[in-house]
Each structure stands twice: as structure tokens, then as C-alpha cells.
Amino acid sequence: MIYNSGQDWLQAEAKKVLFFGMSGLGKTHVSNMLRGTGEWFHYSADYRIGTRYMGEYITDNFKRRAMQDPFLAELLRSDSIYIASNLTFDDLSPLSTYLGKPGNPELGGLSFAEYQKRQAQHHRAEVAALYDTAHFIERAKDLYGYDNFVCDSGGSTCEVVDPFNPEDPLLAELAKNHLMVWIEGSPDHETELVRRFKRAPKPMCYRPDFLSELWGEYLDTNKCAEEEVNPNDFMTFTYARAISQREPRYRAMADNFGIKVTHTDLGKVTSSEGLNELIAATLGNRG
């Protein structure tokens, strides 16, 4: 690992950390807290995905809807209006809206084939955004003078790597440049995470085989055709299953490439000093 002991971490002039785990367990919260100190550069993988790699898909989706309105269509054709996404670190809804939900088109659903295509786009974008962290570590230092760097990764990082392979190329690259920190939840958090997801869906990227398996299971269990699927119901069903199937993948990432902190312990952290102490203690207890 990039830091082999708690003392290494505490004495490092440049601290570089990547948080991973399910959305809703505190990755963005602690990253925002660090950024707020004025001493850390905050890199959001989801923001990079939604702006650099999928921004054109997102705005074209807006334009496609606008073109259905004759008034807006004429203005768009003449370049009289400009349509753009206002995606932010804390509001990823433009990306979530583009990724969409499969099912009944009358309820806003996409065909499953279209949903799979957009998932594949996100998969490629997430890999690229994670590889970009090395460039942004240098950029943060050269342009802005930041020594400390925090990567707020997407909850689906474990879906675009092989966490059980200790030589996975992307994970090896990330571990070379950051301390990889898994934020572990607990069974008690699952209900709350599902509730939050229903209220404010986050961009979700699933492995193709997992997604196809759940799609087939949902159709069989509910005895329905593709166009009869309730999109929101399917997304909640899939998200709830993802929580349990991702846990061993996150655990393998921590075992092979980093460390683990609990959501409860991280929730007690209110300052960069507190985070430093938690990470140093965790490194000290590793092994």
C-alpha cells in the first residue's frame, strides 16, 4: 500500500485517499468536509463521468425531449437556445435521468436493450474516470497547490473491476496512487439506503451478467412482459439486491488493496484531524 503504517500516514506531507462503498454511507460527506478545510482537492468520480465522459449523452437526451415540442424544436434548430446539464458533486440527477430505468414506456421506462446500452456507456466512463485520478493528483498540485487529494468514487467501482484478483490492473493503479478505504455499512443501514434510493436515485452501474440475471428473475417472478415492468419497482428491487452482492466485492477490494473503516466510526469524524487519527489507527491494526 502507499502508506504502510499509521505513522506513515500521519507523517506524510501529501495524503492521498480514495473512499469506496455503497452510496449513502458518507463518501461525499467526508470528501466535502475535507474540501471545506481548504487543504484538500476533492475529485468526484461521478462528476467526472457526468461531465467529461457522458455529458454529451446527457444533453442530447434533454434535446431529444425538447425536440418533441414544436416551439422548442424550432429554437434549437436555429441555435436560439442553449441546453446544458447542471450536474454538481451533490446533485447527480442529470446522470441518473440519462441512465434511466427499464420497463413500461408509459411510466418513463426504457427498453431493456437501451438500458443495457447506457449501462455499457457508464461502465466505460467509470473506468476512464478512475484512471484519470493520477492525472488529477498532479493537476491539483501543479495548478492549485494542493498536496492532499481525496477521491470520492462511485458506489459501482466494484462492478467495473475484478476485486478478487490481487493483480487487477485498475485497482493496482488506484492503490499505487491512493490509500484505498472501504466504508463498511451494516445490515441496519440497508433499509435506510433503500429508502434514500427511492427518494433520490443515484447513478447505478451494474455488471452485465448481474443485471441480466435480475431482469430475468423479475420478469419470471412477476409474470410480466418487458413493457409491463414498473420501472421504479424494478430499480428498487435491483438496488436492494446490489447491496448484498456488492459487500463481498468491497471486502475483497479492502483485503487486497486497502483498509476498512465502519460507517459508524466515520460518522463520528468531524475534522481532517479526526479522519487522520481514524485512518492511522486502522492502518496500525491492519494484519
pLDDT tens digits along 5-46: 999 999 999 999 999 998 878 899 999 999 999 999 999 999
pLDDT tens-digit series, residues 100-141: 999 999 999 999 999 999 999 999 999 999 999 999 999 999
Residue 1 lies in a domain: no
223: left (phi over 0), alpha (psi -120 to 50) or beta: left
Paired residues of 40 in beta bridges: 148
Residue 12 lies in a domain: yes
Q: What is the pLDDT of residue 243?
A: 87
**Mean pLDDT score, 266-283:** 95
C-alpha cell at 129: 474516470
Residue 68 lies in a domain: no
Q: What is the pLDDT of residue 201?
A: 64
**Mean pLDDT score, 253-277:** 95
55 pLDDT more than 70? yes
Residue 95 lies in a domain: no
**Mean pLDDT score, 83-96:** 90
First to last CA, the chain: 13
Average pLDDT, the chain: 93
Q: What is the pLDDT of residue 287?
A: 53
- pTM (global) more than 0.85: yes
102: left (phi over 0), alpha (psi -120 to 50) or beta: beta
Residue 40 lies in a domain: yes
Question: At 89, is the pLDDT very low, low, confident or very high (cuts 50, 70, 90)?
Answer: confident
Residue linked to cell 425536440: 67
pLDDT tens-digit series, residues 131-173: 999 999 999 999 999 999 999 998 899 999 999 999 999 999 9
Task: Indicate the burial class of 182 (C-beta count within 10 angstroms; 0-12, 13-18, 19 or more).
Answer: buried
Domain span holding position 147: 6-44+112-281
Give SS3 for 109.
coil
On whether the CB atoms of residues 20 and 182 are closer than 8 A, the answer is yes
What's the 3-state SS for 1-59?
CCCCCHHHHHHCCCCEEEEECCCCCCHHHHHHHHHHCCCEEEEEHHHHHHHHHCHHHHH
203 pLDDT more than 70? no
49 pLDDT more than 80? yes
Q: How many domains does the chain have?
A: 1
Q: What is the pLDDT of residue 189?
A: 77
Strands (E), 178-230: 179-184
C-alpha cell at 21: 462503498
Residue 52 lies in a domain: no
Q: What is the pLDDT of residue 202?
A: 65
Give SS3 for 110.
strand
Q: Tell me how far apart the alpha carbons of residues 58 and 145 are, in angstroms, rounded to a whole number.
A: 32
Residue 261 lies in a domain: yes
Residue 85 lies in a domain: no
The gap from C-alpha 242 to its chain's centroid, in whole angstroms, comes to 13
Q: CATH number, domain at 28?
A: 3.40.50
User: Of 32-36, 75-79, 126-130, 194-198, which range is least confident?
Assistant: 194-198
